[in-house]
């Protein structure tokens, strides 16, 4: 347990044979990708390099160049990095041309389909972004969330959920597009845009991208970088920001620990020499298996109507029943400590049994009876997890109101909150939407967007909803050889 080196940069020095210098406890090292880099791909998008030649498939990590034309087919999705913290996302059956990827001259042209511009760290003195359309040019003026859909050859619909854009018509006229409104734009000089109000908390956006991309994302690690294996491939070392997919396995080494994101507000922490396998990554069906070592699960928010989290072990499956704090260890007998919350255990007899808070349980096999007792004494792993929870709450406190609000379009109210990348901490922290919940350790998360059910005008039936696109993503990703070969290249950056 001792001697853990707190940064991934130090972990890389170890691999290189250098002596790491002890340092502070920031998050893992971040790799900065360039504008035009493909950060997420679902399906079999086609690329015409330079607009010519035979089309080829795009894989994660590909750097698009001026002149490239990208097409997406039915059910496809593609995410392209703009500036750090800014992304351009394509829905299915879209056609996009790359005109320029330099930060001061970023320029794309959309011919057909739907795209989303999600910009969180736009600096006008360093960045510029334009999107040419059949109805003129849209120019980004400030951070925001925008949905643009080409409706017909000479018209489009632009929904400005937040931020501000300029519409530059071909005749030289311009119009400011302001937040909370949907515009229908045409290219004729005498066209007057039709304007409609967006709902206060509109769900009208491309897809819950945050759900698809954040589940089992490696938020940070300590000591030696963890190893990752996917679809039978050899293990390779990871850096922070990798999206881990169904079928993959993550292993921490003897002098390493790791932290992953689950549903918003829930973290999975791996101790040294631990091994987990990811079975399903959708919020409604999330499941992983402990193959060795021990884990701590911290959950500050859990909505059972749309979230489901199962843990497979040699002694049967466990279902998380509520937010709380849990620790599972293979010693080799399974020990389960429920500090707060509740778990449900199902052995081979297929009967569920509830594990209450404030107790520790031991099992030898799935047919074993539960042996309950007092909670184990807190040790170095518990103290490290508590310190980590405090750091994440502090990172939340340093977020601006703008950054907190930026999480809503990708996650929506039912998730109770979203993940936001802190500009100082370099890791994702939780931002609640409907309250100011506490971490199970007692640290409070601040909130700048308080939403209540009545604000949405919803009738909630209490049944779990499906995670849009995630299960299809898991299947498509494992069927795509190009993505398997490139898995692990796409990374978040700040």
* Residue 118 belongs to domain with CATH number: 2.60.120.1440
Question: How deeply is 31 buried, as exposed, middle or buried, from its count of CB atoms within 10 A (0-12, 13-18, 19+)?
Answer: middle
**Does residue 44 share a domain with residue 26?**
no
For the ranges 112-116, 313-317, 320-324, 410-414, the lowest mean pLDDT is seen at: 410-414
Does the residue 397 lie in any domain? yes
Number of compact structural domains in the chain:
2
Sign of CA pseudo-dihedral 427, 433, 436, 441 = negative
**Does residue 383 share a domain with residue 280?**
yes
Q: What is the pLDDT of residue 31?
A: 39
**Does residue 23 share a domain with residue 42?**
no
Q: Which long-range contacts (CB under 8 A, 24 or more apart) does 450-456 make?
A: 451/201, 451/413, 453/413, 455/200, 455/201, 456/201, 456/413
What is the mean pLDDT of the segment spanning 103-111?
92
Mean pLDDT of the chain: 78
Q: What is the pLDDT of residue 180?
A: 85
In the chain, % of residues over pLDDT 90: 33
Q: What is the pLDDT of residue 450?
A: 63
Nearest residue to 439 (alpha-carbon basis) of 386, 360, 377? 386
Does the residue 330 lie in any domain? no
**Bridge partner list, 228:** 236, 250
Does the residue 471 lie in any domain? yes
**Does residue 157 share a domain with residue 51?**
yes
Round to whole Å and give the CA distance between 244 and 307: 18
Does the residue 362 lie in any domain? no
- Tell me the pLDDT band of 492, cut-offs 50, 70 and 90: very low
pLDDT in tens, 75-106: 788 889 888 778 899 988 999 999 999 888 99
Sole residue written with tokens 């940070």: 220
Does the pLDDT at position 251 exceed 60?
Answer: yes
Does the residue 232 lie in any domain? yes
Does the residue 23 lie in any domain? yes
Does the pLDDT at position 198 exceed 70?
Answer: yes
Does the residue 345 lie in any domain? no
**Does residue 43 share a domain with residue 84?**
yes
For the ranges 141-145, 172-176, 201-205, 447-451, the lowest mean pLDDT is seen at: 201-205
Round to whole Å and give the CA distance between 131 and 109: 5
Domain boundary among 164, 197, 230: 197
What is the mean pLDDT of the segment spanning 133-148?
89
- Are 193 and 177 contacting, i.e. CB atoms less than 8 angstroms apart? no
* Torsion angle of the four alpha carbons 447, 452, 455, 458, in this order, in degrees rounded to the nearest 10: 130
What is the mean pLDDT of the segment spanning 180-185?
88
**Does residue 229 share a domain with residue 148?**
no
**Does residue 192 share a domain with residue 91?**
yes
**Does residue 137 share a domain with residue 271?**
no
Round to whole Å and give the CA distance between 114 and 352: 45
Domain boundary among 197, 221, 255: 197
Does the pLDDT at position 116 exceed 70?
Answer: yes
Q: What is the pLDDT of residue 257?
A: 95
Does the pLDDT at position 70 exceed 70?
Answer: yes
Round to whole Å and give the CA distance between 413 and 409: 9
**Does residue 50 share a domain with residue 20?**
no
**Does residue 296 share a domain with residue 265?**
yes
Domain boundary among 197, 231, 262: 197
**Bridge partner list, 371:** 362
**Domain carrying residue 92:** 38-197
**Does residue 214 share a domain with residue 192?**
no
Q: What is the pLDDT of residue 467?
A: 44
Does the residue 103 lie in any domain? yes
Nearest residue to 27 (alpha-carbon basis) of 466, 493, 425, 412? 425
**Does residue 278 share a domain with residue 220?**
yes
Does the pLDDT at position 259 exceed 80?
Answer: yes
In the chain, % of residues over pLDDT 70: 78
Structure tokens at 377: 């004494």
For the ranges 166-170, 233-237, 392-396, 449-453, the lowest mean pLDDT is seen at: 449-453
Q: What is the pLDDT of residue 295?
A: 97
CB neighbour list of residue 332: distance below 8 Å, 6 or more residues apart: none
Q: What is the pLDDT of residue 452?
A: 54
What is the mean pLDDT of the segment spanning 132-137?
90
Does the pLDDT at position 274 exceed 90?
Answer: yes
CA distances from 131 to 108, 148, 207, 451 (A): 5, 10, 20, 32
Round to whole Å and give the CA distance between 270 and 275: 8
3-state secondary structure of 89: strand
Phi, psi of 140 (to 5 degrees): -75, 130
């Amino acid at each position: 347990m001792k001697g853990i080196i707190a940064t991934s940069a130090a972990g890389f020095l170890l691999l290189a044979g250098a002596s790491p210098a002890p340092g502070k406890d920031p998050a893992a090292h971040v790799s900065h990708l360039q504008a035009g880099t493909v950060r997420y791909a679902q399906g079999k998008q086609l690329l015409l390099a330079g607009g010519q030649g035979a089309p080829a498939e795009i894989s994660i990590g590909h750097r698009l160049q001026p002149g490239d034309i990208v097409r997406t087919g039915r059910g496809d999705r593609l995410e392209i990095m703009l500036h750090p913290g800014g992304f351009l996302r394509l829905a299915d059956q879209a056609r996009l041309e790359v005109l320029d990827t330099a930060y001061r001259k970023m320029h794309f042209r959309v011919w057909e389909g739907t795209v989303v511009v999600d910009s969180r760290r736009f600096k006008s003195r360093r960045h510029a972004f334009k999107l040419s359309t059949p109805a003129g040019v849209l120019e980004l003026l400030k951070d925001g969330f925008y949905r643009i859909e080409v409706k017909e050859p000479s018209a489009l619909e632009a929904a400005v959920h937040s931020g501000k854009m300029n519409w530059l018509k071909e005749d030289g006229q311009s119009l400011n597009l302001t937040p909370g409104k949907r515009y229908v734009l045409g290219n004729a000089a005498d066209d007057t845009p039709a304007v409609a109000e967006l709902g206060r908390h509109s769900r009208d956006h491309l897809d819950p991208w945050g759900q698809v991309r954040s589940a089992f994302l490696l938020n940070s690690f300590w000591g030696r970088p963890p190893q990752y294996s996917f679809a039978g491939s050899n293990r390779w070392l990871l850096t922070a920001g990798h999206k881990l997919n169904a079928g993959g396995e993550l292993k921490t080494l003897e002098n390493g620990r790791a932290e992953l994101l689950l549903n918003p507000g829930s973290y999975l922490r791996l101790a040294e020499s631990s091994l987990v396998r990811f079975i399903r990554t959708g919020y409604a069906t999330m499941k992983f298996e402990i193959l060795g070592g021990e884990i701590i699960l911290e959950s500050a928010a859990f909505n059972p109507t749309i979230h489901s989290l199962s843990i497979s072990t040699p002694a049967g499956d466990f279902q998380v029943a509520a937010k709380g704090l849990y620790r599972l260890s293979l010693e080799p007998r399974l020990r389960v400590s429920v500090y707060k919350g509740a778990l449900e255990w199902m052995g081979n007899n297929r009967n569920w049994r509830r594990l209450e808070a404030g107790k520790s349980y031991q099992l030898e096999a799935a047919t074993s009876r539960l042996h309950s007792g007092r909670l184990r004494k807190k040790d170095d792993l518990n103290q490290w997890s508590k310190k980590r929870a405090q750091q994440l709450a502090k990172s939340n406190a340093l977020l601006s109101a703008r950054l907190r609000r930026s999480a809503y379009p990708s996650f929506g109210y039912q998730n109770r909150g979203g993940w936001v990348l802190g500009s100082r901490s370099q890791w994702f922290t939780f931002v609640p939407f409907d309250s100011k919940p506490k971490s199970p350790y007692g640290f409070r998360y601040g909130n700048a967007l308080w939403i209540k059910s009545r604000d949405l005008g919803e009738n909630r039936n209490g049944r779990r909803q499906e995670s849009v696109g995630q299960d299809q993503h898991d299947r498509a990703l494992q069927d795509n050889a190009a993505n398997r070969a490139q898995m692990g290249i796409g990374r978040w950056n700040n």
